[in-house]
Amino acid sequence: MNNFFRTGAKASMILFSSALIVSCGSNDQDPGLEYAPDMYYPVAYEPLKQLADNKNAINPGGLNMRVPASNTIARGKLGFYTRISKDSAEVAGRELVNPVSRTSQNLEEGKTLYLRFCSPCHGETGLGDGAVGVKFKGVPNYTQGRYATLPVGHIYHVIVNGRGRMMPHGTQVNPTERWKIAMYVQQLQKGITDASGADANDTGSLQAGEPKGASTTENTNPVTGTTADPTKDTRN
């Protein structure tokens, strides 16, 4: 039995040495033999991999990944689009309306998202006393000055695009989550940290100066909250 194992070990060493010599060769630019090359070079086209000898016969230029058509929005991504420029938070405050119902559940979700993404700077109660806010001065207090009366559209716009030293958070939270955060920030503007005080009959956040019960959902994008002007042709 010992002779059998010794013979097997010698044979394995010979095979390994032969494979090593063949794979290395004398050309230092030759990667040698590959184990299971189909795992590295699949038959299917991979969008993030482009092989010189495997050009895509379908797409222009032989590329696997195509550039999206200009001035188009991907299916299901309309809610991420708003025509308001990134530097026009005041315009957003006047024109955007929160389409998310003001319920205790939505406020609670908004609070959870706020604590996760916003509290490190703005603090758990919106006083600008988060761990980052204490170190880097200038984080606003939601209960003081003009920050206490910022409309929900303004808050939403800043979440998406950022402002000043605040970086954009549009890639971290989707449109519905942004509106829920903005809704909870409005609670903090009043010094209220409880997320269970919503009016079940309130179908959204009112804009500044708007009487309660006024219609704000007509011709409104259900995700971005943008109210369309019926007198303008927005097809282009």
Domain count, the chain: 2
Q: Which of 93, 165, 156, 157 is CA-nearest to residue 128?
A: 165
Q: Which residues of 156-167 are buried (b: 16+ CB within 10 A; e: fewer)?
A: bbbbbbeeeebe
DSSP state of 96: B
103 and 155 in a common domain: yes
Amino acid at position 19, single letter: A
95 and 6 in a common domain: no
Which residue range forms the structural domain that includes residue 54?
Answer: 2-62
Is residue 10 one of the residues assigned to a domain?
yes
More confident: 211 or 228:
228
56 and 172 in a common domain: no
Task: Read off the pLDDT of each residue in 96-102 and give the average, rounded to a whole number.
Answer: 93
Tens-digit pLDDT profile for residues 27-66: 777 777 777 777 777 777 778 877 776 678 888 778 888 8
> What pLDDT sits at residue 31?
72
Is residue 174 one of the residues assigned to a domain?
yes
CATH number at residue 157: 1.10.760.10
d(CA 37, CA 84): 50
Tens-digit pLDDT profile for residues 151-194: 999 999 999 999 988 999 999 999 999 999 999 999 999 999 88
Amino acid at position 143, single letter: T
Which helix or strand (DSSP H or E) is residue 191 part of? none
217 and 176 in a common domain: yes
Choosing from 62, 94, 110, the residue where a domain stops is 62
Amino acid at position 13, single letter: M
